[in-house]
Amino acid sequence: MIYFDNSATTRIDKDVLQTFEKVSQTINGNPSSLHQLGDYADGLLQQSRKQIADLLHVLPEEIYFTSGGTEGDNWAIKGTAIEKRQFGRHIITTSVEHPAVKESVGQLKMLGFDVTILPVDHNGRVAVSDLKEALRSDTILVSIMAVNNEVGSIQPIGEIEEVLKNYPRVHFHVDAVQAIGKIPFLLGTESRIDLATFSAHKFHGPKGMGFMYIKKGKKIAPLLNGGGQESGRRSGTENVAGAAAMAKALRLVLEKTEEKQMKQKEIKTYLTEKLEGYKKVSIFSQKEGAPHILCFALKGIRGEVMVHAFEKKEIYISTTSACSSRNGTTSSTLVAMNVPEKIATSAVRISLTDTNKLEEAKIFMEEFDHLYQQFKDIK
Ligand SMILES: Cc1ncc(COP(=O)(O)O)c(C=O)c1O
């Protein structure tokens, strides 16, 4: 079996799973309970928070546990809108965000917020000049992802931070779900990023677990009200085993990152160069984009046909994103990149992780060649 769908989700690491099991079996208390078992659970929760904070060079009180990327994106956007609505109602985002951002912003639009959606170029990147033009005195939030999940384009976050240094009252949210462990990503006092979203299952952690970075002093309203957990900002009994396992997964993914990224880049480059040799193939991912995502199309063959043809060979890829696969919609990222609809419907995505091997890419290309010979005359 060759698993090339790691941007949809990764397999939980076996040591991470062991941590999850061990904590689940041994730490049974509720972190909010007053007795000793509660103290043990709370101790481990705070230790996990500190581990994550240390790995990202931020403060433990800047890390908030969530259920994953979707919750984090919803919280950053709607939490900012609720918190800052007296100061302004203008939000800026891009045309290539994950639906968790896009639809959150859409919901706010229905409630009367004013939304500017920045376009992207044919590589899927926003222009910093467009952002500069869009900023207004009533802008409260800029939400721009670090790495696109469909084509792997990397947004110019550093340059955007420079621009936003002149707008200290605007919250800057970055969806970092596809960035962590894949490209250098810096938070902390030097950074202009106020809010960042992370999801554990994208880096071999448990599913349904994530965290948000909220810079010290920055305020967003809670979306989940209740028992006041997570310093009153995100209620709900904490998933202690999930937090401990996620901290371990983050440590593992950030260990020897450069080496791991190089390995994925080598596989991506190999596949890109091989695919470039086929006349009917269009490639949408840049070589200098994220090292783990390669999106391409075999013209005339629908993406789902390719996915199922590879599945028969026990090779797992996807049609651009897990979300667009199931609902059968065309990739909104490719549409935003001005890829004609007909070609966009043929797009598929290979997404890698550090356990993938070049040998697997070679097998993939052999199977691709067979399929190409079968399909190449289809118009
Ligand atoms: C860029 C991006 N943001 C957010 C999410 C949502 O994360 P989760 O699956 O943890 O809800 C994903 C998942 O595919 C993603 O790729």
Enter the tokens of residue 143.
Answer: 């939400």
Question: 205 CB under 6 A from ligand 1?
Answer: no
Helix (H/G/I), strand (E/B), else coil: 349: strand
Task: Return left, alpha or beta for 300; rule: phi > 0 is left, psi -120 to 50 is alpha, else beta.
Answer: left
Give the count of beta carbons closer than 10 Å to the beta carbon of residue 251: 15
Overall fold of domain 2-9+257-375: Aspartate Aminotransferase, domain 1 (3.90.1150)
Mean pLDDT for 193-209 is 98
| CATH number for the domain running over 14-254 | 3.40.640.10
Is the C-beta atom of 180 inside 6 A of ligand 1?
no
Question: Ligand 1: does its nearest atom lie under 6 Å from the Cβ of 349?
Answer: no
Q: Average pLDDT, stretch 48-62? A: 98
pTM of the model as a whole = 0.96
- Give the ligand 1 atom nearest the CA of 69: 7
- What confidence tier does 378 reach under pLDDT thresholds 50, 70, 90? confident
Q: Using a 6 Å cutoff on CB, does residue 210 contact ligand 1? A: yes
Domain ranges of the chain: 2-9+257-375, 14-254
Ligand 1 contact, 249 CB (< 6 A): no
Site to substitute for ligand 1 among 177, 195, 349, most atoms within 8 A of C-beta: 177
Burial class (CB in 10 A: 0-12, 13-18, 19+), 313: middle
Q: What is the pLDDT of residues 279-317, one digit of tens each?
A: 999 999 999 999 999 999 999 999 999 999 999 999 999
Least confident of 143-157, 335-349, 364-378: 364-378
Q: Is the CB of 199 under 6 A from ligand 1?
A: yes
Out of 20-24, 128-132, 170-174, 320-324, least confident range: 320-324
* Residue 179: C-alpha distances to residues 72, 86, 107, 287 (Å): 15, 33, 26, 16
Burial class (CB in 10 A: 0-12, 13-18, 19+), 269: middle
In this predicted structure, what is the pLDDT of residue 327?
A: 59
Q: pLDDT tens, 222-277?
A: 999 999 999 999 999 999 999 999 999 999 999 999 999 999 999 999 999 999 99
Burial group, residue 101, by CB count within 10 angstroms (0-12, 13-18, 19+): buried
Question: Which is the closest atom of ligand 1 to the Cα of 8?
Answer: 14
Active site residues: 323
Q: What is the per-residue DSSP string for 137-153?
A: TTEEEEE--SB-TTT--
Question: Separation of 78 CA from ligand 1 center, angstroms?
Answer: 17
Same fold, 2-9+257-375 and 14-254: no
CB of 149 shorter than 6 A to ligand 1: yes
Residue 98 C-alpha to ligand 1 middle, in angstroms?
7
Q: Which of 173, 199, 207 to mutate to test the pocket of ligand 1 (most atoms within 8 A of CB)?
A: 199
Position in ligand 1 atom list of the atom nearest CA 70 = 11
CA-closest residue to ligand 1 atom 14: 8
pLDDT in tens, 110-134: 999 999 999 999 999 999 999 999 9
